[in-house]
Amino acid sequence: MRNYYIYAIIALLVAGGIYYIVPNNSTTIAPAETETEEPQPSEREYAEVREELEQRPFAEFFTSEEAETKVKAEIAAQHAFWNRTLGFGGINNLSVSKRSAELEERAAAIRANIIPHVRGALAADMEIALAGIENAKEDNRAEALRIVHRIFHDLDIVLNRYSGDTTYFGVTETLTE
């Protein structure tokens, strides 16, 4: 499991584009799309995986019931932010340097409102999201934020029953374990 985290972080930092983890519990990495929002091989409608995912015991990822409520609220807020910022082609027009302070605020919210209250795979997903934000800021490339958005998207539709776009990307360790 430890190798997975190392590969995931390395994958985010690979020069020449962002990578995503193939959701089959392997350490295989594959290049993500960099020019378009066309469906990835792992994309599918949430309805296809809903029954399986809704039967999983997610309480193990939270330090308490109170923490679960707080974390779920922050996941929804993060997802809403990434939708507004990157959705509907926003990723193509985003100036990372101009939004650097705002990106740091999002990272600080993850560090303060999520990481202290989660464990296991969910904590690993948050570290990958933070690495994506840092990568975007360092390289001044908005594309590195795509994985961040997809992590919060998948978590929001499963943990909070988000009912907007229900495309399921399968990019989180939490939901693919």
Domain boundaries, the chain: 2-176
**Residue type present at position 66:** E
Q: Which of 8-17, 42-51, 79-88, 160-169 has the lowest mean pLDDT?
A: 8-17
- What stretch of H or E contains 168? strand 167-168
Q: Which of 28-37, 52-61, 134-143 has the lowest mean pLDDT?
A: 28-37
Q: What is the mean pLDDT of residues 104-108?
A: 98
Local confidence band at 45 (pLDDT 50, 70, 90 cut-offs)? low
- Model pLDDT, residue 88: 87
User: In the beta sheet, which residues pair with residue 31?
Assistant: 19
Q: Under a CB-based contact definition with an 8 Å cutoff, are residues 144 and 136 in contact?
A: yes
- Model pLDDT, residue 161: 87
- 30: helix, coil or strand? strand
Question: Given a cut of 90, is residue 12 above it in pLDDT?
Answer: no
Give the closest residue to 61 by CA, choosing from 150, 144, 158.
158
Q: Under a CB-based contact definition with an 8 Å cutoff, are residues 118 and 71 in contact?
A: yes
Mean pLDDT of the chain: 79
C-alpha to C-alpha distances, 2 to 6, 9, 16, 78, nearest whole angstrom = 7, 11, 25, 26
Q: Under a CB-based contact definition with an 8 Å cutoff, are residues 133 and 106 in contact?
A: yes
Total-model pTM: 0.73
Local confidence band at 59 (pLDDT 50, 70, 90 cut-offs)? confident
Local confidence band at 62 (pLDDT 50, 70, 90 cut-offs)? very high
